[in-house]
A and B are shown apart, each in its own frame.
Chain A
């Protein structure tokens, strides 16, 4: 009976989503059933787990200024969950999603996390994008002992029992990139520019220390733009006056588009000026326009153009789900990892209990990630590689450099 059952499940799975199943083949040892895991045993903390289902939350901004960035993450997380369900779910339980809107408003993120954890008793939450939203939600997760998978590359300086950070922390994204540009472009002078909030400021702090102490370079200017400011004339002139070898940029949101368009218009295109940015993914390119970026570099752990089996499948799946025109950026991919990592955690723990899952996950090696091999570090961040992408007119990046596997270090000594 069970075998038959298993056979059906598998065929259904394969028929439905061969690719996803192939991924699953790598991800789960073998097909499993709710029957093997009585709810009472796998859920001792009163989470929303039944014999057939388990509830999770997705918490991003569907409205407000941040919707621009967070939509991709929502799509990726839903895709991953759909694929997992196609494979029979987790411990034989189908995943039910409760989506909440953070509305680009940090307090709302706190309120919604509270709702997801205390009312809906979700087993895990995939969400938050800006540091501010995470900072707002974090105390809630710690108090209610929830489990959050956070997709964005961020400033680090944080490590919580209740959070797994599937994006890169600052040092992973910054150091290797700077090393490369210094070596590749013989860069000596750097101009640091970012939007005026914690992530760029912390990143620039680390960058400056690295440039001055390890690269023997010189920072000739450091500039922060008010969020949402769209006028760069003066800033650009300052840069022209300083003539840096490299502009190191972390401008975000609406400003980002204005920044590149005006930079180009002022004659500072890739032919004349080297720029390495840590805030431009394929998503941003949609707004900026390939022609304005052509030849500039981004330091990310993932680019859509990445060539490997996993990624080809992932991109195909994503486009199938959300249309040919859709693009995939670094954060979108990191968000896609969240559900898979949670699945692994639960299955390794054999339980949905947060405490058990949390200890089970570190050390896990995810070989099937679109970005390639990643490993969960005890400090809840991922060991991952850094890539340098050179932007092309068509809005895709050509990967020109790939680092080795980088150890995450949220509290870097000597960089604080």
Chain B
């Protein structure tokens, strides 16, 4: 298992390097940060001077190397836009995104699994079929539109929930949390629904189909033939087996939640890293973009690794080949 993890970590590091390289090659096309850093009355000379100062006149491979050099030491450079160390900015913004992702993730997983199990067990029930069809509405509209419609309904028309931001936050040793204030919790509702809806639908449908697959397995029939109670059959036997493939996808979805937070955060002005990234694109804040992409990759890779390790606990067979299709 240790060898396996080491190999995975090695692969992950490679993935990170590639992601970083690709990302860096992209930055040249996002635009030129210089115009955003200089005012209307700049001269061409100013532009060239600043460009040289930032090292933007060098080939991107060199820029990438310098970035890596710094990143290894935990130094992601200084934001062009804010003039502050990127690591500091990211740390400041991360709690907002992580809390949002966590709430949406938990909502998506809880409701996804519950509804998935329900629709699988009551496969032919009218209510289950209504849920199945209705759930598709959530994935048939773009997220940003759902967010805007939610704001329109619950903030503007009904005035129940705040239209943007995180509300009041409490600082817990560098981690600003919105969980401890009423306004913070209220502010979480709309964004987490917006963000979690898609993932919930996905998880629900996946759980349902995996569960149906499991329910027709011999060992489920055998469990029934032994007269086990439905609850035991469905949850102790079927759900546990269902979770094996589902966990991979959930792991990936958690990463996707953080990535999709870009859109939700833009719509709700949620002060997280996704919003930071979108702003960074707008202002071609290369150090921030690079660090964000690395952060996302690290998270993804970490989640994947975690999922792999989780397998060892869930599935005693320690199957060597889990990468096959579901």
- A pairs with B: no
Binding site for A on B (CB under 8 A): none
